[in-house]
Amino acid sequence: MNLFRLFGDLSHLASIFILLQKIQSTRSCRGISFKTQALYATVFIARYLDLFYEWVSLYNFTMKVFFIASSCYILYLMKYKYRPTHDPSIDTFRVEYLLGPCVVLALLFHYKFTVPELLWSFSIFLESVAILPQLFLLQRTGEAETITTHYLAALGAYRALYIPNWIYRYFTEDMVDPIAVTAGLVQTALYLDFFYVYVTKVLQGQKFELPA
Rule CB under 8 A: which residues touch another protein? 1, 5, 9, 12, 50, 54, 56-57, 60, 63-64, 67, 111, 162, 165, 169, 173, 175-177, 180
Q: How many other CB atoms are there within 10 angstroms of residue 179's CB atom?
A: 16
The minimum distance between CB 56 and another protein, in angstroms, equals 5
Nearer to another protein, 158 or 208 (CB): 158
Nearer to another protein, 35 or 159 (CB): 159
Buried b (16+ CB within 10 A) or exposed e, 93-111: bebeebbeebeebbeeebe
The minimum distance between CB 90 and another protein, in angstroms, equals 31
Nearer to another protein, 50 or 145 (CB): 50
Nearer to another protein, 34 or 120 (CB): 120
The minimum distance between CB 177 and another protein, in angstroms, equals 5
Distance CA 2, CA 73 (A): 30
Q: Are 110 and 179 in contact (CB under 8 A)?
A: yes
The minimum distance between CB 104 and another protein, in angstroms, equals 21
Q: Are 133 and 77 in contact (CB under 8 A)?
A: no
Helices (H), the chain: 3-26, 34-47, 58-76, 96-108, 115-129, 132-141, 146-173, 178-190, 192-200
Length of the chain: 212
Nearer to another protein, 54 or 209 (CB): 54
The minimum distance between CB 84 and another protein, in angstroms, equals 34
